[in-house]
Amino acid sequence: MSATSPAKLNPAKRSTFRQGLLRFRKEAFFQYMALTGGVFLLVFSYLPMFGIVMAFQDFDPAKGYIFSRFVGWYHFWMLFSDDAFWVSARNSVILSVAKFALTFVSPIILALLLNELRPSFFKKFVQTASYLPYFISWVVIASMATTFFSGGADGILNPLLVKFGMLKEAIPFLTYPGYYQVITVLLDVWKFTGFSAIIYIAAMAGIDHEVIEASIVDGTTRFQRVYKITLPMIQNTIVVILILGIGSMFTGGLGGSNFNYGYLLGNTLNMSASDVMDTYILRMGLQLGRFSFAAAAGLLLSTISLILVFLANWVAKKIDRDEQAIF
């Protein structure tokens, strides 16, 4: 009895396969782009997740993942008993909450203000000037901040404050923990507000102008139009940005990573405020060689972020009957 090929047994499947192959050839350029992105995601995002096992091992680089001794939850217990960890966790929460609150609200306000302006040179100038800081390197921003807030004669802020009698003597702002937190939060607002506002401006561009014109005929004020028309029309965008921001809150939220400022502007004098969980993990893992301990701290941070994403999504579902959630 001669064997029959699967293609002959399933002509419908063979036809579907041919159609898929034909479609792939027509869209070859885009398919290869998607495939490249998928490979990149696999290599740099999913395969490294195997390193999570380090958190449960007494990892030895010479032995590797397979032969390193398994210690279970030991590193997590040691983590919770480390005072430096709790200091970095406290700083992460303070900075992240402050940055999240300001970098979430400020782009919406800026977008609403720009949306109310008529097309003009001033509107274009403000929009361009506001999002240009986003493209400035973190290192450049840190250098600018160091120069601007320097307590020496080469600083910018201190000589002005002393000249106008607001200070008796120069203050090295970046060496004071309290000043450090305020400065980094304001730098994040300056860097990200303009760029984040583009998302909301794009959402406002999709609002039906007939609705706005009808409200003008009804005699509504600008504030009423913003509150009753513009904000409800872009609430889906706001909720999506909110959920994503909450998910990354402990690593910097909608603004940049807490690590950037902590690493570039942190020093021994402001360490009580600048040491965040990211710099703590770097110090433990690469500087002190406690790889498993650092992996445990990183896994804890990632787990908290994942829980926050699901929690924010669940709250969004409960508020608006599944219409506002991402998944």
- Enter the DSSP assignment of 118: P
Alpha carbon dihedral 119, 125, 127, 133, in 10-degree steps, equals 170
pLDDT of residue 252: 67
Q: With pLDDT > 90 as the criterion, what percentage of the chain qualifies?
A: 21
pLDDT of residue 320: 65
* CA 254/CA 235 separation, integer angstroms: 17
pLDDT(318) > 80: no
Position 215 confidence tier, pLDDT thresholds 50, 70, 90? confident
pLDDT of residue 1: 45
* CA 96/CA 102 separation, integer angstroms: 10
Q: What is the mean pLDDT of residues 64-85?
A: 90
7 within 8 A of 14, measured Cβ to Cβ: yes
Does the predicted model carry a pTM greater than 0.85? no
**How far is C-alpha 129 from the geometric centre of its chain's CA atoms?**
22
**How far is C-alpha 39 from the geometric centre of its chain's CA atoms?**
23
By C-alpha distance, which of 129, 133, 98 is closest to 114?
Answer: 129
pLDDT(162) > 60: yes
* CA 213/CA 294 separation, integer angstroms: 58
By C-alpha distance, which of 146, 153, 151, 155 is closest to 183?
Answer: 146
What is the full DSSP assignment across 273-302? HH--HHHHHHIIIIIS--HHHHHHHHHHHH
pLDDT of residue 10: 64
The overall average pLDDT reported for the chain is 84
pLDDT(39) > 90: yes
Higher-confidence residue: 133 or 251? 133
Tell me the sheet residues that pair with 58: 69
pLDDT of residue 11: 64
pLDDT of residue 256: 66
Position 88 confidence tier, pLDDT thresholds 50, 70, 90? very high
Kindly list the domain boundaries of the chain, sorted by start residue. Answer: 6-70, 74-320
* CA 95/CA 261 separation, integer angstroms: 11
Higher-confidence residue: 2 or 111? 111
Tell me the sheet residues that pair with 234: none
* CA 170/CA 161 separation, integer angstroms: 8
Is the domain covering 74-320 a CATH 1.10.3720.10 domain? yes
pLDDT(24) > 90: no
Q: What is the mean pLDDT of residues 78-88?
A: 92
Strand, coil or helix: 57: strand
Position 322 confidence tier, pLDDT thresholds 50, 70, 90? low
Q: Is 172 exposed, middle or buried (0-12, 13-18, 19+ CB in 10 A)?
A: middle
266 within 8 A of 274, measured Cβ to Cβ: yes
